[in-house]
Amino acid sequence: MRLNVVLRYVGMVLLFVAAFMLLSAAISYFNGMDSAYYPLLLSSLLTALLGAFPLIFVDKSEQITTKEGYCIVVGSWLVACVVGMFPYLIWGGEFNLINSWFESVSGFTTTGASILNDVEALPRGMQFWRMSSTWIGGIGVVMFALVILPSLGRSKQTLSSVELSSLAKDNYRYRTQMIVQILLVVYVGLTVVATLLLKLAGMDWFDAVAHAMSSCATSGFSTRSASIGYFDSPAIETVLTCTMLIAGIHFGLIYATVTGKRNNVFRSEVTKTYFAIFLAVSLFVAISLRIADTYPSIFASLRYSAFQVASLMSTSGFATANTNLWTPFAIILLMFCSIICACAGSTSGGVKVDRLLFAAKIVRNRVRQQQHPNAVLRIRVDGIMQEDRVLDSVMIFFVIYIIMLFVGTLF
Partner 1 sequence: MTGIRKRITVGFMSIAALLFFSGMISFFELSHLSNDTEEILKANSRNIELARKMLDASDEQNRAFMHLAVLGHVQYDSLCRRSMADIEQTLEVARQEAVDRASLDSLGFAVSEMRILTDDFLTFGAGAEQGYVDTEWYDSDFHNCYKNLTLEIRKFMTSTQSSLAPRTEQLKTNAYRSVTPVLISLAVMIAIVLMFYFFITIYGVNPILEMNRSLGNYLAFRTPFVVKGECRDEMEELRDKIETLITNSKQQIKA
Q: Which is nearer to partner 1, 76 or 347 (CB)?
A: 76
Residue 37 Cβ, how far from partner 1 at the closest point, in Å?
13
What is the C-alpha separation between 384 and 312, in angstroms, rounded?
Answer: 30
Q: Which segments of 220-295 does DSSP mark as H helices, in order?
A: 234-247, 251-258, 269-291
What stretches of 128-248 adopt beta strand conformation (E)? Answer: none
For partner 1, the binding residue among 15, 42, 298, 362 (CB under 8 A) is 42
- Angle between the 141-148 and 176-201 helix axes, to the nearest 10 degrees? 120
What is the C-alpha separation between 231 and 390, in angstroms, rounded?
Answer: 44
Q: 36-51 burial string, b = 16+ CB within 10 Å, else e? A: bbbbbbbbbebbbebb
Q: Which is nearer to partner 1, 87 or 252 (CB)?
A: 87
Residue 45 Cβ, how far from partner 1 at the closest point, in Å?
7
Q: Examine residue 6 and tell whether it contacts partner 1 (CB under 8 A).
A: no
- Going from the C-alpha of 55 to that of each of 69, 76, 139, the distances in angstroms are 18, 15, 24
What is the C-alpha separation between 40 and 91, in angstroms, rounded?
Answer: 8
Q: Examine residue 46 and tell whether it contacts partner 1 (CB under 8 A).
A: yes
What is the C-alpha separation between 100 and 105, in angstroms, rounded?
Answer: 9
Burial degree of 311 (CB within 10 A; 0-12, 13-18, 19+):
buried
Q: Examine residue 63 and tell whether it contacts partner 1 (CB under 8 A).
A: no
Q: Examine residue 50 and tell whether it contacts partner 1 (CB under 8 A).
A: yes
Residues contacting partner 1: total by CB under 8 A: 21
Residue 22 Cβ, how far from partner 1 at the closest point, in Å?
16
Residue 2 Cβ, how far from partner 1 at the closest point, in Å?
8
Q: Which is nearer to partner 1, 56 or 385 (CB)?
A: 56
Q: Which of 88, 133, 129, 95 is CA-nearest to residue 111?
A: 133
For partner 1, the binding residue among 63, 92, 366, 395 (CB under 8 A) is 92
For partner 1, the binding residue among 86, 102, 187, 231 (CB under 8 A) is 86
| Part of the chain binding partner 1 (CB under 8 A), chosen from 82-90, 133-141, 187-195, 305-313 | 82-90
Q: Which is nearer to partner 1, 96 or 166 (CB)?
A: 96
What is the C-alpha separation between 110 and 349, in angstroms, rounded?
Answer: 9
| Part of the chain binding partner 1 (CB under 8 A), chosen from 16-24, 85-93, 223-231, 312-320 | 85-93
Q: Examine residue 62 and tell whether it contacts partner 1 (CB under 8 A).
A: no
| Part of the chain binding partner 1 (CB under 8 A), chosen from 84-92, 128-136, 192-200, 248-256 | 84-92
Q: Which is nearer to partner 1, 90 or 362 (CB)?
A: 90
Q: Which of 272, 243, 251, 259 is CA-nearest to residue 171?
A: 251
For partner 1, the binding residue among 3, 258, 332, 402 (CB under 8 A) is 3
Angle at the Cα of 80 (from 91 to 108), degrees rounded to 5? 85
Residues that bind partner 1 in the complex, under the rule CB under 8 A: 3-4, 7, 39, 42-43, 45-46, 49-50, 52-54, 56-59, 86, 89-90, 92
